[in-house]
Structure 1
Amino acid sequence: MKARLYAGSRLRTIRQRRELDQAGFARTLGISVSYLSQIENDARPITASVTEALERHFPSEWNEPPRDEYERRLAAIREAISDPLFSETPLPAPALSRFVEQYPQLADRMVALHSAYRLAEERRHALGDVIDSTDAESRGDGRQFPWEETRDWFHAVGNYVDTVDVAAERIAAKCSQDNRVTEEALIERLGSKHGLSVRFVSDDTAATALREYDRANRCVSISAILPRPSRTFQLAHQLALIELIEPITAIVRGANLQSEASEKLLTVGLGNYAAGAIVMPYARFRDAARALRHDVDRLANRFGVSFEQACHRLSTLQRPGMRGVPMFFFRIDMAGNITKRHSATKMQFARFGGACPLWIAHEAAASPDKIHVQLAETPDGIRYVTMAMGLVKPSGSFQRPSRRFAVALGCEAEQAADFVYADALDLENPAAATPIGTSCRLCPRRNCDQRAFPPAGHTLLTEIDRREVIPYRL
């Protein structure tokens, strides 16, 4: 049964952008004003006829996506209620689905409440005496850490920020040489348009400061130890924070974040987003990605960017009317922590705890500069083609350890024809897929030898006289 679509805020945004009152908008859609009012207030779902009218009259603004918002909300509420805090008896899936459909705002508040509880518990257990009681951000009042709040903001907007992306594309058109945004062109624009000089620093300062803007002396310093793609990215970031500061500031102010630290982190995050959009302008990058079947090495070479930058950009191709192939992207460190994550697919990442150990990304992190591919299947039966590659970022000094991690990129197996890495996999073999989960706490699989700890809400059966790989059964 297809889930009903509630999208009142989207319709209200379209109507207000077109400067239409409810009567005029209702006439265009062929419905009554009262019905439109109910839809905008999420009291009624959007029917097929209304969807058709939106696609016909507002194609560039509607462009109905898959049920991203619904799927993310359902996954989040499912994770929250799996916590033993609530009950050992899980709610039936149909009841949970109806709850999310009919009360989306209440579901969001429940997820936020659970997140606040988890955060308080994590602070109490993991930080304890380390927390400075005078620090306003560590009062144990249930607020998110700034980095977590910023990451969730990008996830909530689908990792696509239209205002910044479109403006960055215009900047790219003025800084391109032979269809590539170059380091030299960015330096020239910073100098001619903004009166800034650029210098490359190779002393000890470069080991810690990748980029530094000296406002008083109108100078931008870039670490000379960075590879060329990273230097170009840092220059693009600085240019974005100068030329796009007004739209970025407006977005940050409208984000309703909880602290000044969160606002600063979001500003930096939007600067990074804009930098990626400058060196990999949307339309050109999307067309190249399709033509090259998302071959990351070839994309990186064509646009003069790093492997990680190309992977991250592929996960942002969600412009209405020009969507790319839905991708998920994450970065994982040597300890298994997910330090970046985004999913334009149904793939979900755990907010708390480690990632599934069966993901190929863990193996990739231990063997850099080699591409690993995997066909994986989540408990809901969806198969994903995943590519992962381990990377090392040199520190520039023997006394500073290099940073080691892996990046992973993937799509649903149905999109395999557009993903070159699927060519190495047997997609037709039912037994070829590796069974993975979101995390051990959420994974319902009963026969996984890699399980680190039992899933929430299950009774454990332990036999004293018998020992299997896992010391208990579910």
Structure 2
Amino acid sequence: MPNPRLYAGDQLRALRRAAGINQRAMAARLGLSVSYLSQLEGGERPLTAAVTAALARHYPQALAAIEGEGPARRFAALAEALADPALPPLGAEATQRLAEERPDIADRLVALHAAKRGAEDRLALAEETLTAGGATRLPWEAVRDWFHEAGNYVDPLDRAAEALGEAAPDESSLVVALRDHGLGIRIDPNADAPLARIDGVVLVLNGALPAESRRFQIAHRLAARAFAAPIAAVIDGSGLASEEARRLLGVGLANYAGGAIAMPYERFRREARAVRHDIDRLSRRFGVSFEQACHRLSTLQRPGAAGVPFFFCRIDMAGNITKRHSATRLQFARFGGTCPLWVVHEAAAIPDRILVQHAETPDGVRYVSMAKGLVKPSGRFARLPRRYAVALGCEAIHAADFVYADAVDRAGAATPIGISCRLCPRPDCDQRAFPPADRAIAVEPETRRIVPYRVV
């Protein structure tokens, strides 16, 4: 390490001349006065910790030649690590003493700093990959993220909807309540008409809607009218900038409240526990669709009366996530497809059949999930039906409260799944579509594998 009596005038002068600069420019670069640099070059003064630190920043290879490779490299690396703005400043003298007197501690600090920088670089790369073209979120994404960050639970709306739902437990009472808020109902026999629309003081519903969808549309419009003030208050406090996002949030909040009207919180939570979250049974008891019941289960996060923490998502046939929320440690990719090993993809191809999976994420957490493919008929041959799948799951520690867990062997091996290929660190997955965004790959033409590269 730097010796307080180390004189290096000849080396400093040679370094300056090799750089093609005069003493004034060299002194400015090192933060010294011209006279002091002249004294250093003339051998009149030894190197100090401050000078050595400046050399370490600007000329590390020259410093290594002056002092010796090992000590100089340690000092330069330690000075860089301790210059991190996240750390309180440490003077050059103290840095020099630490490197000289406790090289073991110095090396550990350097290693920790390298690990921190590596993690930051991987995070930045992953974020760049995910945003793929800019950090600005589209209105739909912004609203979806708002619900996720809110825990998919909006307390004032949920409580108000619960009270209204208990007072209007069936479709006929919902129609009366809607009429009290200024809207009558008319059925449009045209199958090509919108699902629902407002025509003056009438809610016009598509005649092809199944009973559970018709009831939900009524509850949605009732919520929008009855809870206009609390919905507006939530929107005002949302922080969403664009008018499109704010309008979408308003629709989403009315949908949320509509579901809470059809499935009042405490009664729905109690029934769900009683049937161990059997979706078919809940759907029949509350007159809602399979998807609506799944979605409602993911919102049962009332403080002091929370339900089982579930994750819920809906994907289309291309694997795009069109709805998502997780009250568990499982997180969904904001962009791109999900893990191809997840059972929800198989369910999308096999409608009206429930598939169950015991899976493990890279962090070692195990989950039990249920997935079902659904088809919404279009009403005529010329228009393709909508096909998608929904998935609902919980961590394996809650398996006793999840009837679908009875169909898997939780003591056996779990399917290894990840968030998405670009974010999954597993090095040995044969289903990988892309290499992980934060890892390097090795391409070895002499060795043929299922995936044409090796994650390193």
TM-score, normalised to structure 1's length? 0.69
Give the letter for the 1:469 counterpart: I
The Cα shift of 1:156 comes to 0.5
Q: Distance in 2 between matches of 1:115 and 1:396?
A: 42
Alignment of 1:472 onto 2:453 = yes
Q: What SS does structure 2 have at the residue aligned with 1:199?
A: strand
Asked whether the equivalents of residues 360 and 415 of structure 2 are also in contact (C-alpha less than 8 Å), the reply is: yes
**Which residue of the other structure, out of 411, 416, 422, is the alignment partner of 1:428?**
411
In structure 2, list runs of 5 or more residues that go unmatched: 1-111
Asked whether the equivalents of residues 116 and 144 of structure 1 are also in contact (C-alpha less than 8 Å), the reply is: no
Q: Which residue of 2 aligns with 1:47?
A: none
Per-residue CA deviations over 1:130-162 (Å, capped at 9, x if unaligned) read xxxxxxxxxxxx431000000000000000000
The Cα shift of 1:457 comes to 2.7
Q: Distance in 1 between matches of 2:114 and 2:203?
A: 56
Identity %: 58
Per-residue CA deviations over 1:205-229 (Å, capped at 9, x if unaligned) read 42xx111012xx3100111111100
Alignment of 1:282 onto 2:270 = no
Alignment of 1:455 onto 2:436 = yes
Q: Which residue of 1 aligns with 2:167?
A: 174
Asked whether the equivalents of residues 199 and 222 of structure 1 are also in contact (C-alpha less than 8 Å), the reply is: yes
Alignment of 1:196 onto 2:183 = yes
Q: Distance in 2 between matches of 1:90 and 1:280?
A: 52
Aligned counterparts, 1:52-451, within 5 A: 92=115, 119=131, 121-122=132-133, 142-176=135-169, 182-191=170-179, 193-206=180-193, 209-214=194-199, 217-429=200-412, 431=413, 433-451=414-432
The Cα shift of 1:386 comes to 0.4
Q: What is the Cα-based RMSD across aligned positions, in Å?
A: 2.4
Asked whether the equivalents of residues 181 and 226 of structure 2 are also in contact (C-alpha less than 8 Å), the reply is: no
Q: Distance in 1 between matches of 2:307 and 2:146?
A: 21
Q: Distance in 1 between matches of 2:217 and 2:441?
A: 52
Asked whether the equivalents of residues 374 and 387 of structure 1 are also in contact (C-alpha less than 8 Å), the reply is: yes
Give the letter for the 2:324 counterpart: R
Q: Which residue of 2 aligns with 1:9?
A: none
The higher-RCO structure (CA 8 Å, 6+ apart) is 1
The Cα shift of 1:256 comes to 1.4
The Cα shift of 1:202 comes to 1.8
The Cα shift of 1:446 comes to 1.1
Q: Identify if the C-alpha distance between structure 1 residues 325 and 93 changes in structure 2 by more than 3 Å, giving closer, same or farther.
A: farther
Q: What SS does structure 2 have at the residue aligned with 1:151?
A: helix
Give the letter for the 1:189 counterpart: A
The Cα shift of 1:447 comes to 1.0
TM-score, normalised to structure 2's length? 0.72
Asked whether the equivalents of residues 191 and 379 of structure 2 are also in contact (C-alpha less than 8 Å), the reply is: no
Q: Identify if the C-alpha distance between structure 1 residues 367 and 118 changes in structure 2 by more than 3 Å, giving closer, same or farther.
A: closer
Q: Distance in 2 between matches of 1:266 and 1:405?
A: 23
Give the total of aligned pairs. 343
Q: Distance in 2 between matches of 1:304 and 1:151?
A: 26
Give the letter for the 2:398 counterpart: Q
Asked whether the equivalents of residues 126 and 423 of structure 2 are also in contact (C-alpha less than 8 Å), the reply is: no
Asked whether the equivalents of residues 423 and 438 of structure 2 are also in contact (C-alpha less than 8 Å), the reply is: no
Asked whether the equivalents of residues 125 and 437 of structure 2 are also in contact (C-alpha less than 8 Å), the reply is: no
Asked whether the equivalents of residues 116 and 143 of structure 1 are also in contact (C-alpha less than 8 Å), the reply is: no
Q: Distance in 1 between matches of 2:201 and 2:123?
A: 46
Give the letter for the 2:453 counterpart: Y
Q: Identify if the C-alpha distance between structure 1 residues 302 and 94 changes in structure 2 by more than 3 Å, giving closer, same or farther.
A: farther
The Cα shift of 1:377 comes to 0.2
Q: Identify if the C-alpha distance between structure 1 residues 458 and 415 changes in structure 2 by more than 3 Å, giving closer, same or farther.
A: same
The Cα shift of 1:122 comes to 3.5
Q: Which residue of 2 aligns with 1:3?
A: none
Asked whether the equivalents of residues 315 and 322 of structure 2 are also in contact (C-alpha less than 8 Å), the reply is: yes
Per-residue CA deviations over 1:41-80 (Å, capped at 9, x if unaligned) read xxxxxxxxxxxxxxxxxxxxxxxxxxxxxxxxxxxxxxxx
Q: Which residue of 2 aligns with 1:5?
A: none
Q: Identify if the C-alpha distance between structure 1 residues 456 and 113 changes in structure 2 by more than 3 Å, giving closer, same or farther.
A: closer
Q: What SS does structure 2 have at the residue aligned with 1:441?
A: helix
Asked whether the equivalents of residues 191 and 208 of structure 2 are also in contact (C-alpha less than 8 Å), the reply is: no
Q: Distance in 1 between matches of 2:384 and 2:432?
A: 31
Q: Identify if the C-alpha distance between structure 1 residues 94 and 232 changes in structure 2 by more than 3 Å, giving closer, same or farther.
A: farther
Asked whether the equivalents of residues 143 and 258 of structure 1 are also in contact (C-alpha less than 8 Å), the reply is: no
The Cα shift of 1:313 comes to 0.2
Give the letter for the 1:167 counterpart: A
Asked whether the equivalents of residues 378 and 436 of structure 1 are also in contact (C-alpha less than 8 Å), the reply is: yes
Q: What SS does structure 2 have at the residue aligned with 1:198?
A: strand
In structure 1, list runs of 5 or more residues that go unmatched: 1-88, 100-109, 124-141, 177-181
